[in-house]
Amino acid sequence: GDYYDFQVMGDGRIAVLISDVSGKSISASLVMVLIKTVVSTYLKLFNTIRGDTIIRTINRVMCGEAHIDKFATIIFFVFDPATKSLEFSNGGHGPLFVYRADRKVCTASKIEGLPMGIEEENVYKLARLQLNSGDIVMLYTDGITECWNQVKEEFGLKRVREKLIEYADLNPKEIIENFVRDLDEFAS
């Protein structure tokens, strides 16, 4: 049920999404294919790409299909490397973490929204961030935050934030490798 994708658009901006469909099995996979199809089609048809509009479109498609008994969380953003600006929308996925290199702190987005497939007329918000050199944006699914150890304690958002600060001086590949190692050790 977890899915991520990105696409470099003709103007150099990068569209990124991460999503998690409830449940397992073929039905969750089919919902993910629907999400991928809507996003891919939208990116090909429209020049103006807004996360809130894309999420609203996916939500309406999911709600309009009576046979879909799933919901999905999503975070969708568009990053412009030329201006280092980021626009994003959140459909119930959890916070977007941003490490701010100049202050050596990790902030979490406050923008929230209902998961897709619950309420057809739900309105999603659009947020904007200005990034600076050295800043890090981290996306994840609940497979990270809800990873359990032997006493059923979750890895949690607090640890993700702490680890991102700890590994901020590393390159992206090393950050990922360290997170995977930490999760393996945490879950034994």
List Cβ neighbours of 7 (8 Å cut-off, separation of 6 or more).
14, 15, 40, 43
Top-confidence range, 2-16, 113-127, 161-175: 161-175
Instruction: Check whether 165 has a pLDDT greater than 90.
Output: yes
Instruction: Check whether 69 has a pLDDT greater than 90.
Output: no
Q: How confident is the model at residue 2 (pLDDT cuts 50, 70, 90)?
A: confident
pLDDT of residue 44: 83
Write out the two tokens for 73. 């969380």
Give percent above pLDDT 70 in the chain.
Answer: 98
pLDDT of residue 137: 95
pLDDT of residue 29: 86
Per the model's pLDDT, the better-predicted residue between 4 and 85 turns out to be 85
Q: Which of 32, 118, 113 is nearest to 71 (CA)?
A: 118
pLDDT of residue 168: 97
pLDDT of residue 107: 93
pLDDT of residue 141: 86
* CB neighbour burial string for 17-52, b if at least 16 within 10 angstroms, e if fewer: bbbbbeeeeebbeebbebbeebbeebbeeeeebbbb
Where residue 94 falls (left for φ over 0; alpha for ψ -120 to 50; beta otherwise) is left
**Counting Cβ atoms within 10 Å, is residue 126 exposed (0-12), middle (13-18) or buried (19+)?**
middle
Top-confidence range, 19-28, 57-66, 103-112: 103-112
Question: What average pLDDT score do residues 7-12 get?
Answer: 88
Q: How confident is the model at residue 66 (pLDDT cuts 50, 70, 90)?
A: low
Question: What average pLDDT score do residues 2-11 get?
Answer: 88
Mean pLDDT of the chain: 91
Q: What is the pLDDT of residues 21-51, one digit of tens each?
A: 887 778 888 888 888 888 888 888 886 788 9
